[in-house]
Amino acid sequence: MPNLKHIKVRIKSIKSTQKITQAMKLVAASKVRRAQVRVLNSRPFTQQIMNFIGKAVSSLLAIDKNEIPLMREREIKSVGIIVVSSDRGLCGSYNTNLIKKAVRRVLELEKSGITPKLITVGNKANNFFKRAKIEIIESFTQLPAIPSIELANLIASSAENAFLNGSVDKIEIMGTDFISMLRNEVYIKQFLPIISNTSESQSEDRKETSEVLFEPSLDTVLGALLPLYLSNIIYHALLEASCSELASRMNAMSNATKNAKELIEKLTIVYNKARQAAITQELSEIVGGVEALK
């Protein structure tokens, strides 16, 4: 017969956990809506900046690109990867999917004879790759609740320094794009050197119809714009990651609350059956005792 006290204690424990998961679900739900607004508002601005930089880069000659350090391509011996994870867990498979893809990318690079180096954002990625003993150029943890442009500037500056001082020959950024409340996608994109995303045919058409002039000079204009462009890319990646994390946490806590409710219902049935069996046994013993006295 099941132990009634043990079942009762377990039901009480699960109810306490259910209250916590329900509270975390409500907190995540209130935050994710504000995060979603920030992401949706930032996308048009980021897209316009990317289009502008794309047009500027596609109008340059190869010799001009080599004069700009952040656009200079060289033989790839080491690749830096900016991995944007979260500080906290309890958000389902959000960090797991990201880290799995990062590990696959690291193995691909090592198989090709290229040295991978990481810039980790968030405790989860930092702790994992520390244990994996993969070189970490710099780590950023204790992230603010709302992504800040100051943090984006620090991450972008760290990546620029690693690229300019020759520590890495190429930098990629890996994060998550917020698709919906139930879905996010892990992506990997080139960060440095800066390249044009436009097709060659479009680029040639623009060159034939117009010529881009930089005043006062090419170095001055792009020297000021490109660091701001990189900071914006990082900032937008942080916004997307924050929104994806909150949505994943809301869904995970919702599922945990639902599972706790189902488990409580099952244990309550087991408890009632055990209690009924115990009462029946006691009655049988009493009746048996009375009969014996007769």
| pLDDT tens digits, 262-291 | 999 999 999 898 888 888 887 787 777 777
Q: Token pair of 79, please?
A: 């690749």
Tell me which H or E stretch contains 106: helix 94-111
Query: Which pLDDT value is given to residue 165?
Result: 92
Q: Does the pLDDT value for residue 78 go beyond 70?
A: yes
Assign 195 a pLDDT band (cuts: 50, 70, 90): confident
> How many Å apart are CA 173 and CA 125, to the nearest integer?
13
Query: Which pLDDT value is given to residue 197?
Result: 60
Which of 91, 125, 171, 194 is an active site residue? 91
Query: Which pLDDT value is given to residue 109?
Result: 94
**Residue that wins the pLDDT comparison between 38 and 51:** 38
Find, among 81, 102, 60, the residue nearest to 226 by Cα.
60
Query: Which pLDDT value is given to residue 274?
Result: 85
Query: Which pLDDT value is given to residue 133?
Result: 87
Query: Which pLDDT value is given to residue 212?
Result: 65
Query: Which pLDDT value is given to residue 204?
Result: 46
Sheet holding 170-180, edge to edge: 136-140, 115-121, 78-84, 170-180, 183-192
Cβ-in-10-Å burial (0-12, 13-18, 19+) of 181 comes to middle
Query: Which pLDDT value is given to residue 203?
Result: 45
Find, among 191, 291, 181, 170, the residue nearest to 237 by Cα.
191
23-252 is a CATH 3.20.20.110 domain:
no
Task: Report the amino acid identity of residue 261.
Answer: K
Q: Does the pLDDT value for residue 209 go beyond 50?
A: no
Q: Can you tell me the mean pLDDT for 97-101?
A: 95
Strands 78-84, 170-180: pairing kind: parallel
> How many Å apart are CA 219 and CA 231, to the nearest integer?
18
Respond yes or no: is residue 91 known to be catalytic. yes
Evaluate whether 90 touches 109 at the Cβ level (below 8 Å): no
Evaluate whether 191 touches 159 at the Cβ level (below 8 Å): yes
Token pair 């900071």: residue: 231
Query: Which pLDDT value is given to residue 218?
Result: 67
Q: Can you tell me the mean pLDDT for 202-214?
A: 53
Query: Which pLDDT value is given to residue 87?
Result: 92
Assign 1 a pLDDT band (cuts: 50, 70, 90): low
> How many Å apart are CA 294 and CA 289, to the nearest integer?
9
- In this predicted model, what pLDDT tens digit does every residue of 117-167 receive, in sequence order? 999 999 999 999 999 989 999 999 999 989 999 999 999 999 999 999 999
| 45-49 own/partner pairs: CB under 8 Å, 24+ apart | 45/232, 46/232, 46/233, 46/236, 49/229, 49/232
Query: Which pLDDT value is given to residue 211?
Result: 63
Lowest mean pLDDT among 50-59, 102-111, 173-182, 248-257: 50-59
Query: Which pLDDT value is given to residue 284?
Result: 81
Domain boundaries, the chain: 23-252
